[in-house]
Amino acid sequence: MRMNVREIGWAVRSACRGSDPELFFPLSPSAEQEARAKAVCARCPVMDDCRAYAVRAGEPEGIWGGLTVKERRGLRFPAGWRRRAAG
């Protein structure tokens, strides 16, 4: 999915704007790194916009809007969704 400026214009107001990208996209993820990234997100004025974008776009990596890939996937595809759809 291609991003356009209108869709991610909120990013210029993000708390992570000046942060090292590796904090949010680590080569070797750890619980400590995840907690540090989520702490930045927790104080971000555009966290909801960031989270909504990442879920909608299906971002496959990193922490966006205070959520990991697995957490975002859980919002997009709640547990049991396939079972309900097939039944």
Domain ranges of the chain: 5-86
pLDDT band at residue 2 under the 50/70/90 scheme: very low
b (16+ CB within 10 A) / e for 5-14 = eeeeebeeeb
CA–CA gap between residue 87 and residue 67 (Å, rounded): 30
- Helix, strand, coil % in the chain, rounded to nearest 5: 55, 0, 40
pLDDT in tens, 47-86: 999 999 999 889 999 999 999 999 998 887 766 555 555 5
Known binding-site residues for [4Fe-4S] cluster equal 16, 41, 44, 50
Which residues are part of a known binding site? 16, 41, 44, 50
Q: Determine the Cα–Cα distance for residues 17 and 11; give it in Å rounded to an integer.
A: 7
